[in-house]
């Protein structure tokens, strides 16, 4: 029985949903899978040597992996296990393709072997809110792809990843996003007229960047831009500085969303069509 470790970071739950789906599919194939949340440092018992193979899962942030994922992987010991990448993003945009380059460099230097990447398009948690119909289509596609991807992991399949020069260029250029978010994050504000002082934002921030002294909120210098705070704020009280116009507040009902292709907006229908009509799994080579 194959024992798979799935290390994940999920700002607002999309990536976690995909990981849970793949875990369920692995278990149907008689493999064992354990989800390890990268919000916290990885303990000895969860290190890659405890698994036959592992996966690293993350939401694409500015055509790259979030800083917290990179930092946690830097702490991994040397090893020789194979790994897969599972990533979720709001668009099937080809520029998302090379978002794992930092991860692959870090893990490659430590001796780990990259096998394949799986790219799941999930609802945007920033920029604009996807319609329920689009969300339904994304989830339907995820349900279709996950069994194939799980099988590939269970069987030790390998994908041939060739990145185009222009995608490499875009993701390297957007590495500036990490530093940018640390600056922008300091400018987040809470509208105290709306705030119900539930403390969710303070408790759930993955990098403990938010403090509340009973009267005033302070946002520190460590923001990842994962938007967990503003996305989950029950009253939409958190203003995300210059990104306010792109804010998406409130969870999607992904599993319950209706699938109705006829209702999908023109832009989405065109740019996402290839992704929705792809056959088999979500190995990025199949989505060229």
Ligand X SMILES: Cc1cc2nc3c(=O)[nH]c(=O)nc-3n(C[C@H](O)[C@H](O)[C@H](O)COP(=O)(O)O)c2cc1C
* Interface contacts to ligand X, rule CB under 6 A: 10-15, 59-63, 88-91, 93, 96, 122, 124-126, 225-227
Contact 62, 94 (CB under 8 A): no
Relative to beta strand 32-37, strand 113-121 is unpaired
Q: Which is nearer to ligand X, 109 or 288 (CB)?
A: 288
Q: How far is the CB of 257 from ligand X (least distance, A)?
A: 14
Q: How far is the CB of 213 from ligand X (least distance, A)?
A: 27
Q: How far is the CB of 167 from ligand X (least distance, A)?
A: 12
Q: Which of 198, 200, 197, 207 is nearest to 229 (CA)?
A: 200
Q: How far is the CB of 143 from ligand X (least distance, A)?
A: 16
Relative to beta strand 82-89, strand 53-59 is parallel
Q: How far is the CB of 78 from ligand X (least distance, A)?
A: 29
Q: Which is nearer to ligand X, 154 or 230 (CB)?
A: 230
Q: Which is nearer to ligand X, 11 or 147 (CB)?
A: 11
Q: Which is nearer to ligand X, 124 or 276 (CB)?
A: 124
End-to-end CA distance of the chain: 33
Q: Which is nearer to ligand X, 61 or 81 (CB)?
A: 61
């Amino acid at each position: 029985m194959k024992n798979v470790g799935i290390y994940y970071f999920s700002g607002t739950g999309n990536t976690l949903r995909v990981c849970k789906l793949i875990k369920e599919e692995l278990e149907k194939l008689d493999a064992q899978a354990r989800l390890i949340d990268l919000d916290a440092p990885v303990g000895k018992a969860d290190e890659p040597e405890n698994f036959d193979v592992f996966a690293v899962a993350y939401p694409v942030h500015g055509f790259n992996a979030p800083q917290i994922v990179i930092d946690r992987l830097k702490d991994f010991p040397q090893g020789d296990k194979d790994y897969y990448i599972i990533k979720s993003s709001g668009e099937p945009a080809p520029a998302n393709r090379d978002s794992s380059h930092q991860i692959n460099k870090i893990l490659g230097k430590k001796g780990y072997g990259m096998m394949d990447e799986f790219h799941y398009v999930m609802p945007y948690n920033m920029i604009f809110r996807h319609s329920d119909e689009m969300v339904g289509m994304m989830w339907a596609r995820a349900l279709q792809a996950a069994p194939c991807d799980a099988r590939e992991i269970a069987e030790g399949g390998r994908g041939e990843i060739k990145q185009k020069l222009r995608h490499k260029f875009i993701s390297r250029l957007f590495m500036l996003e990490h530093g940018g978010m640390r600056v922008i994050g300091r400018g987040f504000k809470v509208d105290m007229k709306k705030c119900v002082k539930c403390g969710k934002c303070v408790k759930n921030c993955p990098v403990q960047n938010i403090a509340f002294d009973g009267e005033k909120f302070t946002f520190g210098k460590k923001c990842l831009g994962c938007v967990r705070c503003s996305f989950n704020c029950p009253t939409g009280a958190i203003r995300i500085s210059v990104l306010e116009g792109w804010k998406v507040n409130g969870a999607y009902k992904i599993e319950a969303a209706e699938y109705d292709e006829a209702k999908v907006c023109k832009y989405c229908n065109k740019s996402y069509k290839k992704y929705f009509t792809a056959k088999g799994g979500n190995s990025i080579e199949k989505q060229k």
